[in-house]
Amino acid sequence: MTGMRMGGWLSGAPGRNEESSLCRRPYLDREWKVLMEQLADRVKKLGLKRFQMAARQIAAGIQWLDPLMESYCALTCPSCEDFCCTGQNVFYNRADILYLIALNAALPPGQTRNTASSPCRYLGPRGCALPRVRRPYVCVWFLCEPQMLLFLKERASFQRKVVGVMQEIRASRLLIEAIYEKGYPDEPGSFLPPNTR
């Protein structure tokens, strides 16, 4: 990721500054399967290659962040009494799913939880069972208070690099959504299973 620049190809996401919250909710596994199939079919119809450059940029950024986040988690999570992973609003969103489809990564077998009160299905005894590159993005970038204190002790130049990588990831995620919405401008929620609309 060091020295990687996105250049002018980000111009596909003008004016966009927020990711869609579509898909950020509990899904039953059968609903999730339908959603994955419908989104994968739509991405294929739009041309998978249109999404892949941004997806590779996202993956490279997450892989660059991974050692830092792993070190912070090793220092803070074992003594934590309020795991961020138990947060009720931690879900895959549409950008996460489009990214995984474009990356040709194994799609998650289900949303993080089936009901609002369920724990995250991917939280195991040693932390998240998913590699960081396949987690919901909120699980990649979120720093709890003890981790933020560690981050603030880093060199200023390193802090700027981390923030820059996160900004590049965010820009690529917004681009993926912009490409999708350009192809499907009139039906932002139509891919949802019929019984969930």
Say which range, 1-10, 144-153, 163-172, has the weakest mean pLDDT: 1-10
Residue 1 has pLDDT above 50, yes or no: no
pLDDT tens digits along 3-52: 333 333 344 455 557 788 888 899 999 999 999 999 999 999 999 888 99
**Which pLDDT belongs to residue 8?**
37
Residue 2 has pLDDT above 50, yes or no: no
**Cα separations (Å) of 120 from 6, 60, 75, 84, 86?**
33, 25, 22, 10, 6
Say which range, 86-90, 124-128, 158-162, has the weakest mean pLDDT: 86-90
Complete DSSP assignment for 73-139:
HHHHGGG-SS-GGG-TT----HHHHHHHHHHTPPPPSS-S-SSTTSPPTTEETTEESS-GGGS-HHH
> Which two three-digit tokens encode residue 156?
């200023």
pLDDT tens digits along 69-90: 999 999 998 888 777 777 778 8
CB 116 within 8 A of CB 88: yes
Say which range, 3-12, 103-112, 125-134, has the weakest mean pLDDT: 3-12
**Which pLDDT belongs to residue 15?**
55
CB 102 within 8 A of CB 55: yes
Residue 31 CA to residue 193 CA, distance in Å, equals 6
Residue 197 has pLDDT above 50, yes or no: no
> Which two three-digit tokens encode residue 187?
């039906």
- Rounded percentage of the chain residues whose pLDDT exceeds 90: 58
Q: How many helices (H) and strands (E) does the chain have?
A: 6, 2
Kindly report the pTM of this predicted structure.
0.85
Average per-residue pLDDT in the chain? 85
